Amino acid sequence: MTAAVEDAHVELDVVSKSYGGIHAVREVSLAVRRGTVHAIVGENGAGKSTVSKLIAGAISPTGGRLMVSGREVSYGSPRQALADGIAMMDQELAMVPHRSVMENVFLGSESRQAGFVRRGEQRRRFAELLERSGFDLDGRALVSSLRLADQQKVEILRALARNAELIIMDEPTAPLSMVESEQLFDIIRSLRDRGTTIIYISHFLEEVLEISDVVTVMRDGRHIRTGPSSEETQDSLVQGMLGRSLDLAFPERVQCAPDSEPLLEVRDLSLTGSFKGVSFDVRPGEIVGLAGLIGSGRTEVVRAIFGADRYESGRVTMRGRALRGSPAASIRHGLVMLPESRQHDGLIMMRSVAENAALACLQRFSTLGFMRRRRQRDAVAALIADLAIKTSSDQAVVDSLSGGNQQKVVFAKCLMAGPEVLIVDEPTRGVDVGAKRAIYELLVSLAANGMAVIVISSEVEEVLGLAHRVIVMRRGRLVAEFAAEEASEERVLAAAFGTTSNA
């Protein structure tokens, strides 16, 4: 057993967690000091989220000890951990979608008297939370009506409402804009200064170095090292995470023919309250980046193009043929979309890798209504190999995979349909640097082989690194377009914010 660490809020003492023959965490010993922001980094599958779930009581260790404030604990549920002042904001948002924002914020911690909820007291507490956080949310709005960024704010407010002494944040800025991320960092610093401990898990290494006091590097379920964040760099963290250095630059784009006929044409697409007069083309072999702030209409436009949502006027054509109706019709015509949220729109989490990968084109594997399982599994096996999906088998439940491998399964589902045009909305959200590079190489390779690709990303650097052409949206309209050689972060952000720049 390791010696106790002075002023440790949480200690893991030779802790392990296995699922059958798979070791998610291997003999990890780690101390998190009280009143610090302690970051944990590593590739998908490195054990970061498993460690956080062990601390939060969501799962139990198969070996070792967990100590909280010097006392050995054995949590059977998150509620028991919450009683010890430990709250977790999971990477995949866990809310009641058809309840209000306020109800979700106080879920399990309602203001009650004689068994009845005290509505007035709850409204007062909610107003205090909004003032404290700087967020602007309507407490009466249904959570299901909110954008992902606002749903994340609800999760943050819920943790604040519980007055937790230790808050675990797993990828908290993934759906947030730069401004909203800075607001979150201010909240984190304020919490830390009042003595709250924050365990911060993120794939954004730059923000890890900015916000954390201490950083732990994990690899293959093992604790590699822990030390002051001030002594680390992005390159040193990557080398620790991967066991090797990694070229963080984007792969070289293959130039497309500028005079080729467009594969996809969008003309004057409009929907009242969401977007207006949107027009653009995408050619074979071209990657078009769609940039803009969260709420600018990027996702709404591509969902309408794909047929997932309606539009009121305008037209969408593929190779000159009108395309309007449903996602199924779009897929038949060669237009496929990877959605913003893999959990809610991309995958059936409790189904297998094979079932999910084949979901968009079941007709390929059926004869007279009967599934040809061998043909399906052969096709899935090829994609698992091509995309380097880490899974024990094609029958593994998707929910058991790391976030990066879940994202690769969504890519497998898209590619199984054999698209000519691929729309990818936030393709690397919740994905580590190694998996990001693999996804970048995949997108560039698909374009090099003649596929037209539309990339939507909140990371301006990602759009600039991948796209042959960048289109910027603001308030539902296309406001700027740049060729790759003309585009810069300053120009794109100036267009997105509605300012001017000649950078």
How do 452-456 and 287-292 pair as beta strands? parallel
- pLDDT of residue 311 exceeding 90, the answer is yes
Determine contact, residues 33/193, Cβ cutoff 8 Å. no
Higher pLDDT, 201 or 501: 201
Q: What is the pLDDT of residues 153-188, one digit of tens each?
A: 888 888 888 878 999 998 888 767 777 788 888 888
- Hey, what's the torsion of the CAs at 68, 105, 37, 438, to 10 degrees? 110
CATH topology of 8-242 equal to that of 259-334+419-503?
yes
Percent of the chain exceeding pLDDT 70 equals 92
The CA–CA distances, whole Å, from 263 to 80, 266, 301, 322, 388 equal: 55, 10, 17, 12, 29
Q: What is the pLDDT of residues 101-124, one digit of tens each?
A: 998 998 866 666 655 667 788 888
Domain boundaries, the chain: 8-242, 259-334+419-503, 347-417
Percent of the chain exceeding pLDDT 90 equals 42
pLDDT value at residue 202 = 87
pLDDT value at residue 169 = 92
* Rounded Cα–Cα distance for residues 95 and 152 (Å): 10
- pLDDT of residue 214 exceeding 90, the answer is yes
Residue 34 confidence class, pLDDT cut points 50, 70, 90 = very high
pLDDT value at residue 117 = 64
Maximum distance among all Cα pairs of the chain, rounded to whole angstroms? 73
Residue 247 confidence class, pLDDT cut points 50, 70, 90 = low
- pLDDT of residue 322 exceeding 80, the answer is yes
Mean pLDDT lowest among 238-242, 365-369, 480-484: 365-369
Q: Which long-range contacts (C-beta less than 8 Å, at least 24 apart) are formed by 4-7?
A: 4/67, 4/70, 5/31, 5/33, 7/33, 7/34
Stretch 231-244: mean pLDDT: 84
Q: What is the pLDDT of residues 252-283, one digit of tens each?
A: 888 887 788 999 999 999 999 899 999 999 99
Stretch 410-424: mean pLDDT: 93
Task: Supply the mean pLDDT for the chain.
Answer: 87
- pLDDT of residue 297 exceeding 80, the answer is yes
- pLDDT of residue 1 exceeding 50, the answer is no
- The domain defined by 8-242 carries CATH number 3.30.70.141: no
Q: Which two tokens stand for residue 213?
A: 């006091």
- pLDDT of residue 236 exceeding 70, the answer is yes
Q: What is the pLDDT of residues 355-414, one digit of tens each?
A: 888 887 777 777 766 777 778 888 888 888 888 888 888 888 988 887 788 889 999 999
Please name the fold of domain 259-334+419-503: Rossmann fold (3.40.50)
Q: What is the pLDDT of residues 50-102, one digit of tens each?
A: 999 999 999 999 999 999 999 999 999 988 998 899 998 876 667 888 899 99
- pLDDT of residue 347 exceeding 80, the answer is yes
- pLDDT of residue 294 exceeding 80, the answer is no
